[in-house]
Amino acid sequence: MMLKEMKGRAVIIAISEFHNRQGESLDKRKGVKRDANRLFKVLTHLDYKVSLHMDVSAKEIKDIYQKESKMPQGGCFISILSSHGDEGLIYDFYGEPVLLRDLYNILAPHNSPLLAGVPKLFFVQVRAAIGDCTVHNI
C-alpha cells in the first residue's frame, strides 16, 4: 500500500461567538462551526494536514501562525479565517482586532524561511455590520 504524500498544511480559524471584555459583544455567527468542520473534511480529503481552531484570542491566533511558520509545509499553505471584521482585520473571541498584515508578516520569507517559495493562499470571510446593519463581505 502506497502512502499519500501531504500536499501541504492548512489552518482554519473560525470565530462564532464573541465575548467582549467591556460587556458589549458582537453577534453570534450561526453555522460557522458546521462550515469549519466541512472545510476541515474537504481539505483533509485533499491530503492537506489541517488544524482547526474555534473561538480563539488574538494571542492564540498569532501563536498558531508562529507555530505554522516553523513547520515543513509541503507544496502549499492554506489559511482560512472566518470572523466578524473590517477592512484589513478580523475580530478575535473577545472582539479585539487582529490585523491581517501582522499574520502575513509572520509567514513572510524573512520571518519564516521554511515558507520561502511555498505558495500561500489566504481566504478571509468577514461579516461586518456597517451603519444600518447591512451585511458586507470584505
Count of the separate structural domains present in the chain: 1
Q: From the CA atom positions of the chain, what is the Rg in Å?
A: 16
Task: Say if residue 133's pLDDT is above 50.
Answer: no
Domain ranges, residue 68:
14-137
Strand partners, 82: 14, 125
What would the pLDDT profile of 94-105 be if each residue is shown by its tens digit?
989 999 999 999
In a domain, residue 85? The reply is: yes
- In eight-state DSSP terms, residue 66 is H
In a domain, residue 1? The reply is: no
pTM attached to this predicted model: 0.85
In a domain, residue 78? The reply is: yes
In a domain, residue 79? The reply is: yes
